Amino acid sequence: MEARCQCGGLSATIADDARAMTVLCHCLDCQRLSGSAFGVMAYYPREAVVLRGPSREYTRTTDDGNGFASGFCPHCGSTVYAFPGKYPDMIGISLGALADPAFPRPARSVYERSRHDWVHLPADMPRHPMGRET
């Protein structure tokens, strides 16, 4: 499986046998990062992903004090990956960069406290006011 930016300059190749933990996040930072009402990342073990091409990173501090580094293409600006400081052995891949409508739905929805009221999710999806510990 491959994720890539709009111009194709930055890509992430994911091992065929890698399993993702996909999270939909409504926090204001993810809204700003994605340019949408929420962000969705599929998290994989770092060793299962190979990044190719030039990238730039922006690191922000999360509510729990960890860093969250977003990797984007310096040419087209598309976010392709993220390194969550809380889980240093993982890499997040932006679901939009995978561009796969058949990709399985997220395992949970977090930061529901800032979810837009017009965003409706499956009733059986686990939801958390903030992170998954809430």
User: Over the stretch 97-129, which tens digit does the pLDDT of each residue have?
Assistant: 999 999 999 999 999 999 999 999 999 999 998
DSSP state, residue 124:
T
The model's pTM is: 0.92
Say whether 33 sits in a helix, a strand or coil.
helix
Nearest to 30 by CA among 3, 63, 4, 53: 63
Q: Residue 45: in which H helix or E strand, if any?
A: strand 39-45
Whether domain 2-112 has CATH 3.30.300.30: no
Which residues touch 22 (CB under 8 Å, ≥6 apart)? Answer: 40, 41, 42, 43, 95, 103, 104, 105, 106, 107
